[in-house]
Amino acid sequence: MCGAMTWVSDPRLVSAVGNAGGFGLLAGGNAPVDILAAQIDETRRLTDKPFGVNLITLAPVYRQQLDLVCDKKCTVVVFAGGIPKKGEIKQAKAAGARVICFAPTAPLAHKLIERGADALMLEGSEAGGHIGPVALSILLQQILFEVDVVPVFIAGGIATGRMMAHLLMMGAAGVQMGTRFVMSEECIAHPRFKEVFKRARARDAMATPQFDSRLPVIPVRALKNEGSKSFSRLQLELLTRLDAGEIDRQEAQYEVERFWVGALREAAIDGDVDHGSLMAGQSVGLVEKIMPLKGIIDEMVHDAEAELQRLKPIFNQNHI
């Protein structure tokens, strides 16, 4: 799967992923409903392969977006950014969609299954963009090894076919990558954005801190630059305005999301890699070249198959 990345997971990338044998996700993000509708139509024009739409439950236009994907009869809806209500999951399923929900912790995983999720997405904190609080190695043991009633997909820090093979052997239904697909020729991201990814090391992708519990912000993993410092200043400014009663907490959270949407566009689309947001997972340290999208998927499949074949005699020997 290709993760839904705001500004980046556009119809061109999503359709190209599908045509190459993968599964793409359109990023709902904060997109106005008319723009998201046009993107769904454009993706359908570019491919006859299935794809999904990722909705951020904290987005100001989330409810209208949910109504839209139901009206458009989208076949897969992914809820991210927060915990969808039972009625929202039911609405998507009633419209014929399969529902995938992000499960950042074990208790939430079980709650989402109870609410009707058809599948789970486990995303470790190694991932890029908005991240959960728990490392993938823990989530695998807490959820993947314990849940067998719905398919479980894995995201966060994945960039190689060998890793995919091992996750499949653990019981995963599939994997989702974002950072790796940014480095595809078909990705709309600015050349300077991709060039920074090529040079980056895994430890350069850092998670943003939360300064005060009064302003609960979802951590964002990105390469450190002036944009990261600007976000720190924004948090302090918003806390001051909260203290003064100039804004409420919901409006402060919306300001945070508006910052990230704008900052990401500055870097990924406009090429301002100094002041924009360089959202990237720690797998950026494993990505060194730009490739055709089909080449990425073919390499993943080839390397996964080679790893399975490498391990086959080891398993057979141990069995004897």
Q: Which domains does the chain have, with CATH numbers?
A: 11-188+290-319 (3.20.20.70), 201-282 (no CATH)
Read off the tokens for 3: 């993760």
Mean pLDDT of 289-309: 97
Mean pLDDT of 256-283: 93
Mean pLDDT of 291-303: 97
Compute how many other C-beta atoms are within 10 angstroms of the C-beta atom of residue 270: 14
Query: What are the pLDDT digits (tens) for 225-252?
Result: 999 889 889 989 999 998 899 998 888 8
pTM (predicted TM-score)? 0.92
Closest CA to 122 of 110, 109, 111: 109
What is the structure's pLDDT at 319? 61
Q: Which residues contact 8 (CB under 8 A, 6 or more apart)?
A: 27, 182, 187, 188, 189, 268
CA distance 290 to 225: 22
Query: What are the pLDDT digits (tens) for 140-176?
Result: 999 999 999 999 999 999 999 999 999 999 999 999 9
Mean pLDDT of 188-199: 97
Residue with tokens 């050349």: 191
What is the structure's pLDDT at 130? 87
Q: Give the largest Cα separation in the chain, rounded.
A: 72
Residue 106 scores a pLDDT above 90:
no
Give alpha helix (H) positions in 102-160. 106-114, 136-139
- Give percent above pLDDT 90 in the chain: 79
Closest CA to 9 of 1, 221, 160: 1
Q: How deeply is 226 buried, as exposed, middle or buried, from its count of CB atoms within 10 A (0-12, 13-18, 19+)?
A: exposed
What is the structure's pLDDT at 89? 98
Closest CA to 268 of 223, 202, 304, 236: 223
What is the structure's pLDDT at 209? 84
For the chain, give the mean pLDDT: 94
